[in-house]
Amino acid sequence: MNLPQDFLDEMKLILKDDFQQYIGAVDKEPFRGISVNRIKITPEKLIPLLPFAVQKSPFYDDGYYIPINEQGIGKHPLHHAGSFYVQEPSASSAVSLLDVQPGEKVLDLCAAPGGKSIQIASKLSGTGLIWSNEVVRNRAQILLSNFERMGVANGVVSSCYPEVLCEKLGSYFDKVLVDAPCSGEGMFRKNPAASLEWSREHVQACANRQLSILDSAAQCVRPGGVLVYSTCTFSYEENEGVIKTFLAAHPDFEESGTRQHFGRQTELSCAVRITPLEGGEGHFAARLRRKGNDTNISIPVIRNHHLPKASLYQAAEKMLFELYDDLPEGILSVNKNKVYLLPHLMPDINGLGVVRAGVLVGEYKKNRIEPAHALFMSSRPSSLRQVLSLEQNDKRVDEFLSGMEIECDAASGYTAVLYCGVVIGFGKCSNGRLKNKYPKGIRQTAGSSYLRTE
Ligand code: SAM
C-alpha cells in the first residue's frame, strides 16, 4: 500500500524505533474481533457455540479476536440474536477506560454504528441509562437497529448536534464518551482507499472539530464524573494535541487513570495508543475526570412522557400479563398508536432529536396491542411465559430467520423463539404452527444461515 509521505513522517515521530516494524505490517491482513453482549449471553456460554475459534483480546474483558478470513458471521443465528457485535479489537479499548459500573448514566456522543454503545449497554445490563447520540440521521437509524438486535431497553437514541444536546442535558451523566470523527489512520489496512483522503489540512480540520465536540461533551459530565476521548487515528495533533488543548481550556478537568495493561504508552499518563504492533488496527483513548464530586444530580422531569389513555393502558397491561411471568420494568408511555417502556432514569427528551427512548412495546390495533420484535429481543427468556426453544441443528432456525412459518408445539398465542437459549424473535402459535413475526427488513434468504459446526 502506498501511504502519503507526510503521514509516514508523522508515524516515524510517533513510533520512533518501531517505525520499520510498522512498515512491515502495513500490507498484512487487518485484525478482526467481536465483543460479547452480556444482555443476551455470557462469553462462557457463547464461545463453545461459535463455529470458529476465538482468542481473548487484551483490550476489553469481553472482547475476542476472530479468524481474519471467517465469512458470513453476520448471518450466524447468534448474531441475529444480538449475542455479539463484530468489532475491530482495538476499538473496544475506549470502553475499558470508561469503566462503566451498573446503575450509571452514560452518554455516548458520537455513537453510530454503535459498537461502543453496545459495550456500554452490556456493562450496564439493564441498569442505569445509556444515551447514544449520532448527528447523522440515517446513521442514527443503524444505531437504533443495533440497539433492538442487542436487546437494549434502558437506552435513548438521538440524532442531535452535540452543542444543542449537551447544553440541554447539562451535567447529568456519570460517564461521557466522545469517540470522535477523525482522519481514520487506523483504518488504512482495512480500507486502503481511506489513505487517499489523508492530508495535513484534513488532520487539522479534524482536530478543530474534535475540540468543539469535546467542549460540548464537557458540559454533560457531573463533577467527579469521567470523560473518555477516543479516535481511530494515530495523529499526535488529533490525540495528545487535542487533549492538551482541552485541558488548558478546562481547568475543571484533569487526567485520570493509570497506565493500561495494553497498547503503547503516550506522553499522557491517562492515554493509550494502539497500533497494529500492539494487536489492533489503531485506536487512541484518553481518560479525564471532572474535578469535584457530586453524585446527587437531580433528574430532569420527563415532560413529554405521554401517559396512555386508560383503554390503551389496559390493553398494554393485558398484553404484558399474557406474555410475561415476570414483567419488564419501565414507565409505560404512548406516542400516537405506539406504546413504549421508558427507562426510569430518563431525562426530558423534548427537542433533542430523539429517535427512540426505551423499548417499543407494540402497536395499538383494533382494541389490542400487537407486540413488537424489539420487546421480545430485550426480554430475559426466564421472564417469558411461552417459548419455542430451537437448538443448533434444527432446520427451523434457518426457516424462521427467512420468514417462513415453522412447526411449533407450544400452546396458542404469542411465543418467543429461542436459539440455544437466546431470544431471536417471536411468532404466534396456532394449531402446531408458528406464524412468523421476524421483521421483513432483517430476514435472510432461506438456506443462507451460517451454521457451520466443525
Ligand atoms: N462510536 C462509534 C462506534 O463505536 O460504533 C463510532 C463513531 S465514529 C468514529 C464517529 C461518528 O461521529 C460518526 O458516526 C460520525 O457520523 C459522527 N460525527 C461526524 N461529525 C460529527 C460532529 N460534528 N459532531 C458529532 N458527531 C459527528
Q: With a 6 A CB cut-off, is 98 part of the ligand 1 pocket? A: no
Q: With a 6 A CB cut-off, is 136 part of the ligand 1 pocket? A: yes
Domain presence at residue 99: yes
Domain presence at residue 204: yes
3-class DSSP state of 317:
helix
Q: Based on the domain organization, do 9 and 126 belong to the same domain?
A: yes
Closest CA to 424 of 449, 445, 448, 447: 449
Q: Which of 377, 394, 424 is the last residue of a domain?
A: 377
233: left (phi over 0), alpha (psi -120 to 50) or beta: beta
For position 337, what pLDDT does the model report? Answer: 87
Domain presence at residue 245: yes
Q: Determine how β-strand 338-342 pairs with β-strand 359-365.
A: antiparallel
Shortest-distance atom of ligand 1 to CA 114: 5
Q: Based on the domain organization, do 397 and 419 belong to the same domain?
A: yes
Q: Based on the domain organization, do 237 and 321 belong to the same domain?
A: no
Q: Based on the domain organization, do 273 and 422 belong to the same domain?
A: no
Total number of domains in the chain:
3
Average pLDDT, the chain: 94
CATH label of the domain that carries residue 437: 2.30.130.60
Q: With a 6 A CB cut-off, is 380 part of the ligand 1 pocket? A: no
**Which of 86, 109, 135 best tests ligand 1's pocket when mutated (most atoms within 8 Å of CB)?**
135
Q: With a 6 A CB cut-off, is 384 part of the ligand 1 pocket? A: no
Domain presence at residue 398: yes
Q: Based on the domain organization, do 370 and 390 belong to the same domain?
A: no
Q: Based on the domain organization, do 176 and 230 belong to the same domain?
A: yes
**Which of 96, 106, 110 best tests ligand 1's pocket when mutated (most atoms within 8 Å of CB)?**
110
Q: Based on the domain organization, do 243 and 350 belong to the same domain?
A: no
Domain presence at residue 302: no
pLDDT (tens digit per residue) in 239-265: 999 999 999 999 999 999 877 899 999
Q: What is the pTM of this model?
A: 0.96
Is the peptide bond between 67 and the residue preceding it cis, with omega within 30 degrees of 0? Answer: no
Q: With a 6 A CB cut-off, is 115 part of the ligand 1 pocket? A: yes
Chain centroid to CA 78:
16
Domain presence at residue 18: yes
Cβ neighbours for 358, distance < 8 A, ≥ 6 positions apart:
153, 154, 155, 156, 330, 331, 333, 340, 341, 342, 343, 346
Alpha helices, H only, 155-199: 162-169
For position 296, what pLDDT does the model report? Answer: 65
Q: Output the CA 182–ligand 1 centroid distance in Å.
A: 9
For position 81, what pLDDT does the model report? Answer: 98
Closest CA to 414 of 432, 434, 400: 434
Exposed e or buried b per residue across 372-401, where buried means at least 16 C-beta atoms within 10 angstroms of its C-beta: bbbbbbbbeeeebbbbbebeeebebbbbbb
Residue whose CA lies nearest to ligand 1 atom number 19: 181
Where does 127-214 show beta strands of DSSP type E? 129-133, 155-158, 173-179
Q: Output the CA 113–ligand 1 centroid distance in Å.
A: 8
Q: Which of 241, 260, 290 is the last residue of a domain?
A: 290
For position 298, what pLDDT does the model report? Answer: 57
CATH label of the domain that carries residue 17: 3.40.50.150
Q: Based on the domain organization, do 13 and 82 belong to the same domain?
A: yes
Q: With a 6 A CB cut-off, is 276 part of the ligand 1 pocket? A: no
Residue whose CA lies nearest to ligand 1 atom number 8: 181
Q: Based on the domain organization, do 229 and 317 belong to the same domain?
A: no
pLDDT (tens digit per residue) in 413-422: 999 999 999 9
Q: Output the CA 112–ligand 1 centroid distance in Å.
A: 6
Q: With a 6 A CB cut-off, is 86 part of the ligand 1 pocket? A: no
- Residue 84 cell numbers, joined: 455479539
Q: Output the CA 409–ligand 1 centroid distance in Å.
A: 46
Q: How far apart are the first and last CA of the chain?
A: 35
Shortest-distance atom of ligand 1 to CA 136: 16
- Boundaries of domain holding 75: 5-290
84, 154, 171, 199 from 221: Cα distances, Å: 29, 19, 5, 33
Q: Based on the domain organization, do 71 and 37 belong to the same domain?
A: yes
Q: Which of 345, 377, 409 is the last residue of a domain?
A: 377
Domain presence at residue 448: no
For position 453, what pLDDT does the model report? Answer: 47
Task: List active site positions.
Answer: 232
Distance CA 320, CA 333 (A): 14
Q: Output the CA 100–ligand 1 centroid distance in Å.
A: 20
Q: With a 6 A CB cut-off, is 112 part of the ligand 1 pocket? A: yes
Q: Output the CA 115–ligand 1 centroid distance in Å.
A: 12
For position 333, what pLDDT does the model report? Answer: 87
Domain presence at residue 299: no
Q: Based on the domain organization, do 228 and 274 belong to the same domain?
A: yes
For position 374, what pLDDT does the model report? Answer: 98
Residues lower than pLDDT 70 in the chain: 296-308, 451-454
Q: With a 6 A CB cut-off, is 353 part of the ligand 1 pocket? A: no
For position 297, what pLDDT does the model report? Answer: 61
Q: Based on the domain organization, do 105 and 141 belong to the same domain?
A: yes
73 in Cβ contact with 450 (< 8 Å): yes
- Residue 228 cell numbers, joined: 473518555
The H or E element that residue 217 is part of is helix 200-218
Q: Output the CA 111–ligand 1 centroid distance in Å.
A: 6
